[in-house]
Copies of this chain bind each other. A is one copy, B any other.
Amino acid sequence: MKELEKLFDRIVQRVNINLRELEFDVHPLMNKLVPTSQMTKFYAFYGITPHHPLNLVFRHSNLSGSYFLGRVRVTNSLLYKSDIRGDELKQSGDLFQYQEFNIPVDQDEEISIEDSFLIKTLVHNYSHDPETLETFFIKDTVSTHYANIHGSPSDGCFLGPFSTVDLTTIRDCVIGAYSYVQAGEISHLEVDPGTVWVRKPGDFNFMYRYPTDLLNSYIYFVGGSPPQGIFMDFVEDRKEAFQNIYNVVNIDVPVDVPPNASLDRFAVIKPKTSIGENVLVAQRAFLQNATLGKGANAQENCYIINATLEGNDITAHGAKIIEANLGKNVFVGFNSFLRGRPNARLTIGADSIIMPHTIIDSRQPLTLPPGHIAWGMIRDARDLEFNSMSLKAFSQINTRFCQGRMLFEGSGGSFVSAFQERIHHILEANGAFYSSNNNRGHAQRNQNISINTLQPYPKGGDQEGLYPTIIIQP
């Protein structure tokens, strides 16, 4: 394991060099967070389909429990139970439109992960940055449990647990636990835990910050021990169900799956779950007594329990929906935690937007009316009032608006329509609109994935836990 330990030290040093101006030391946070003995226990996966680009190159890395799809290059990195999705890569010959620019893509885009340590991180490559079209880089970066790196190239950064960077190129930044950043480009910033920040320079700026004391009971992370709180307990309590599906080579599909839908072989499906047409259930999704109507999706690391999604609903990476009814076209953003109770269910009206990193955790029945947007910490009807608005009203904001802990500047109309366009793109990309061979998306393309498994060097030498160089190409 000597090599693994050297690799850990190397990565930590490189990240610290990048973060020196912020005087941020990742060593006490990362040290012993995942013991090297743990990194030798699991195997990695790569998916091969007839529809996805293929070029995987792994060198001098540990990949334990991680899943890869598409064109991915991993060098000198530790990837622990991460999902690296290369299914929305640009291709040579594409024309990338950005404002008034039309930029030709001159080689197939690939994900490149170098000198980085990602723990249970979801990496999705739908990248927007016009400065780096061919390489989606993650370099000198450390990310912790259930962070999302979503279309966000990253260089020299630290991401706290359950944080998300979304369509943002980040350089030399620290993103605190449960912070969500969608801001185009940022550098040399330390974002406090529990910050929800959506910015389009010159157009709008949305900012919410969680009260620290309340946030700490959901997610709390300091050096010396793993992240703690309700989020971690919730996930840990359901860990065993995943172990069972990794222990067998072939798994019986426990539910009817329509021919135009797809259920990943590494999703957990508990009884009384129903999967509608054009539905996508991704790997590491957890469904229990869940009804997914036509075109709904359940993305990586999401949990849908005792809940009904009427159709064309989006459950983004890491979102949790418990004891809830969702009308049609509801968007539930990254790592949101929506928890009703058996006698106090949540109802989310049709066409509503639950902002990324929203916590609705109520012991009373709560209803968000149709066509509303909600954000932040909502534990009762009063919170709901402070932390939601109708989309119509929100669209009418045109300068500056404050409500509770939320501050908005700019055009509410732009903000709402940017969200709605994004939602439309997500549904389309996931295959929700598929019909008679048109509008094929992930739900249709992911049906016949061959899952390959890779193991590290076994016990008995300095290389233990490292993977050999592995190249997979057409």
Residues on A lying within 8 angstroms of B by beta carbon are 43, 48-51, 54, 246-250, 447-461, 463-464, 468-474
Cβ B50 vs Cβ A457 within 8 A: yes
Are B48 and A458 closer than 8 Å at their CB atoms? Answer: yes
Task: Specify which of A249, A457, A468 lies most central, judged by the most chain B CB atoms within 10 Å of its CB.
Answer: A468
Give the top 4 A-B pairs by smallest Cβ distance, nearest first: A450-B455, A50-B461, A448-B458, A471-B471
Secondary structure class of chain A's binding surface, majority of residues: loop
State in angstroms the CA–CA spacing of A310 and B48 once bound together: 48
Chain B residues in 8 Å Cβ range of A457: 48-50, 450
* Cβ A49 vs Cβ B247 within 8 A: no
20 inter-chain pairs at a CB distance below 8 angstroms, sorted by A residue, are A48-B458, A48-B468, A49-B458, A49-B460, A50-B461, A247-B248, A247-B249, A248-B248, A448-B458, A450-B458, A451-B455, A452-B452, A452-B454, A468-B474, A469-B471, A469-B473, A470-B471, A470-B472, A471-B471, A471-B472
Please indicate the chain B residues that have their CB under 8 angstroms from the CB of A473 in the complex: 468-469, 471
Chain B residue at smallest Cβ distance from A463:
B50
CB-CB under 8 A for A474 and B469, given A247-B249, A451-B455: yes
Q: Give the CA-CA distance A37 to B463 in the complex, in Å.
A: 39
A456 touches B460 (CB 8 A): no
Determine the chain B residues whose CB is within 8 A of the CB of A455 once the complex forms. 48, 450-452
Residues of B contacting A474 in the complex (Cβ-Cβ under 8 angstroms): 468-469
In-complex Cβ contact of A458 among B449, B454, B458, B470 (8 A): B449
Q: Is B247's CB under 8 angstroms from A460's CB?
A: no
Contacts of A49 in B (CB 8 A): 457-458, 460
A472 to B247, CA, bound (A): 25
How close is A373's CB to chain B, nearest CB, in angstroms?
A: 40
Q: Bound complex: CA of A455 vs CA of B463, how far in Å?
A: 25
> What is the CB-to-nearest-CB distance from A448 to chain B, in angstroms, rounded to a whole number?
4
CB distance from A246 to the nearest CB of B (A): 7
Least distance between A66 CB and chain B CB atoms (Å)? 14
A452–B461 Cα gap in the complex (Å)?
18
In the complex, what residues of B have CB within 8 A of residue A246's CB? 249
CB-defined contacts of A453 to chain B, threshold 8 Å: 452-453
CB distance from A447 to the nearest CB of B (A): 8
- Which of B48, B458, B469 touches A50 (beta carbons < 8 Å)? B458
Given contacts A247-B248, A248-B247, A249-B247, contact A448 B469 (CB under 8 A): no
* Nearest neighbor of A458 in chain B, beta-carbon distance: B448
CA of A450 to CA of B471 in the docked complex: distance in angstroms? 17
CB-CB nearest in chain B for A43: B452
The chain B residue with its CB closest to the CB of A40 is B450
- Whether A456 and B450, one on each chain, are in contact in the complex, defined by CB atoms closer than 8 angstroms, is yes
Instruction: Determine the distance from Cα of A461 to Cα of B470 in the docked complex, in whole angstroms.
Output: 25
> What's the least CB distance linking A465 to chain B, in Å?
10
A283–B451 alpha-carbon span in the complex (Å)? 23
The closest CB in chain B to the CB of A246 belongs to B249
Residues of B within 8 A of A447 (CB): 460
**Chain B nearest Cβ from A95, distance in angstroms:** 26
Minimal beta-carbon separation of A55 from chain B (angstroms): 9
Closest to A456 in B: B450
